[in-house]
Chain A
Amino acid sequence: MVLFILLRLLPGDPANSLISVGADEAQIAAARRQVGSDLPLAQQFLQFITSLARFDLGTSFISRTPVLPEIMDRLAVTLPLTVLSFLLALVIAVPLGILSAVKADRWYGAAISVVSQLGIAIPVFWVGILLVTLFAVNLRLFPSGGFPPRGWGAPVEALRTLFLPILTIAIVMSASLLRYVRSATQDVLGSDYLRTARALGAGFSEALVRHGIRNGAVPVMSILGIELATALLGAVVVERVFNLPGLGSMLLLAIEQRDYPNIQGVLFISTLLVLLIGFLADLGQRLVDPRLRESRGARS
């Protein structure tokens, strides 16, 4: 409802994307009829709500293709992009974060911390442009952008084009993840249970692996959910830099064209995805922390 009204408050008319200089009154009227912007707002809203209730996301005003298949097509780019970036970020951030907390008194512990601080400050598009200049334009190792026309029908090519975008998101994401892992580890290091475990004869690394990681993972897990959701929606910048036909670029184009069915469809699906991610993060927390399961069980 809010979304519907906000979108209509934007100046402009979806019909404008269909006409060109030289269009006469009849052509403009026909365009407005085609996109339904000649109907009263209440009627437009009714149409929107009833079709949403039927899980029918409608048909694009501009391309006249159904919204859902196009979203699926673009998710085939955006989902692997975000999930793989996320995994790569984890691979970078978790060991480095733990290392920098455990070895905070060594020079490399401090160095990791400083570099990650820098990483948080750099904008994503800038990292992207640097990587393109280095790996694509100068070294010619990876393509500078685009997605193969055959999509995942050409898996090797598709992965190659996704490599630099994935690296871009992973670098930026791992910088902030690393901070969380580091501080969670520091909390664990100062905790009573770790000291107790060591007092009972466990070695430092054994205590850390058996008790530390499990405890430290709980707060990190909820952050991970938020980070993944942010990455999904934030992919729009990276998609632009690397010219990827993903969900973000679909949203951006739809907003430019006032293509309401596409905007509403993308936002609807991304909301579902973000809810799903939140749910998975919750589930993950419960798996690693039995206390959460028990407290819920006790209440019901």
Chain B
Amino acid sequence: MTASLKETGLGLRSLTISVAFAIVGATGAMAQDNADPSAVIRIGSLYEPQNLDNTAGAGQGINEAFNGNVYEGLFQLTDDGDVVEKLVSGFEMSEDGLTYTFTLQPDVTFHSGDPLTAADVKHSIERVTAETSQSSRKRSLANIESVEAKDDSTVVVTLKERSISLPYNLTYVWIVNDAAEDLTSGEDGTGPYKLDNWRRGSSITLSPYENYWGEKPKNGGVTFSYFKEATALNNALLTNAVDIITSVQSPDSLMQFQDNPSFVVTDGQSTTKEVLAYNDRVAPFDNVKVRKAVARAIDRKRLLNSIWGDHGTLIGSFVPPTDPWYVDLNDVDAYDPESAKALLAEAGYADGFTFTLDTPNYDPHPIVAQFLQNELAKVGIKVEINIITANEWYTKIYQAQDFQATLQEHVNHRDIVFYGNPNFYWGYNNPQVWN
């Protein structure tokens, strides 16, 4: 399935920068037992949630702020990628693999004071699978036939088909109080922190929840400050207005921290991929040879280097290396402009062709587009860059599928499931893959 896929993927992003605790006591509080227990950790981020409900289109920022802090799942995904029990104390799977019986942790309470019951779990799962839900995990849970609350602490989930992914998929289901009325601007979770204050356009403040059932936080709370611009975010870290920033947007801005002993730069794994997607339904990209030729005409190593310096990884496909089925496909259609030209000639485009590349107007897409323009000119392909906003992208490309090629960052993990769908925006139609 690899050779005909239409992707040039490079895994970038996710460098986390944090201030050393020796300079700022607050940061040390997370790791050091002797740290000031009342210190508030100040985190700077570029991703303010649009609202506070991950089933109502809140965006990626809400997961950064709330996952594991305000809300917990039945299971938890650890930093190493393992799925461990969280709000369940144990579970059993029936022999046919279709029925899961979960036993809930005792003595868990919501921030409003209500106890956690099986009815809350049922409500929480059904919230994600509901017709109006905007959760990106909705489809993964479509396999659930029913959720029943057997008694207060036992939940029975019945599946339509066997699945080994249920615990994994449940790590994304926030357990919310079924009596909570407003989850878009308020919360009622079971996590170690509760929401103090959300100042739209500016900050979210969390404070420790005094009746938390597990190990209590060793700090006085967390403030997420939201920034629109990377420069303002970097300045905030430089001037000690925040202790941690969750991402850097360019290797240039990394340098001001790297050479400074007050800061620690952590390199992490990311599931964000920069993807060049062809529309397989329209000429010339309906021709697999053209798609392969374009892939071979692009020096991905140089592209990565020009954008991220020594950081980031070439992944050779659109599957993040953290997914269990990841295979390094960098050698498939590797950089080889001569053979790209030959393939183009075979496909009937010996003199090249012109196509329009719909490019979102934010970093890193415009730079990538310019790089592609230069690179493809060398094999005779002319790229016309059409800059569009993120909002237009969804109307023109995602829904109307009215495009030849486009650039996009895909942030999900285990997202291979929708890539093979022939109705997906790039229209890769291979019945073998879809089945």
Contacts and interface: CB of A to CB of B under 8 A. Distances in A.
Do these two chains really belong together in a complex? yes
Given A65-B185, A245-B202, A145 B131 contact: no
Given A13-B394, A65-B184, A65-B200, A146 B236 contact: yes
B67 interface: no
Interface string B404-418: 000010111001001
Given A132-B235, A150-B197, A12 B241 contact: no
Contact of A13 (B57, B391, B410): B391
A20 B56 CA distance: 11
Interface stretch (B169-177, B223-231, B319-327): B223-231
A56 B191 CA distance: 36
Contacts of B203: 146-147, 149
A28 interface: yes
Interface in B140-185: 184-185
A140 B202 contact: no
Contacts of B399: 28
A249 B131 CA distance: 33
A19 B390 CA distance: 11
B134 A19 contact: yes
Contacts of A249: 201, 228
Interface string A69-97: 01001100000000000000000000000
Given A12-B395, A62-B57, A30 B235 contact: no
Given A63-B51, A250-B201, A16 B185 contact: no
A235 to B, nearest CB: 13
Contacts of A253: 201
Interface residues of B, number: 51
B391 A70 contact: no
A30 B50 contact: no
Nearest to B398: A21
Contacts of B201: 74, 245-246, 249-250, 253
Contact of B391 (A24, A27, A30, A258): A258
A16 B205 CA distance: 28
Nearest to A259: B50
A74 B410 CA distance: 33
B200 A63 contact: yes
* B199, B203, B241 pick with most chain A CB within 10 angstroms: B199
A294 interface: no
B239 interface: yes
A147 B197 CA distance: 13
A11 to B, nearest CB: 5
Given A145-B236, A146-B203, A151-B199, 4 more contacts: A17-B57, A62-B57, A63-B200, A145-B241
Closest 10 CB pairs of A and B: A18-B57, A245-B201, A16-B394, A12-B391, A245-B202, A144-B235, A64-B184, A149-B203, A30-B132, A243-B232
Interface of A: 11-13, 16-24, 26-28, 30-31, 33-34, 62-65, 70, 73-74, 129, 132, 136-137, 140, 143-147, 149-151, 240-246, 249-250, 253, 256-258
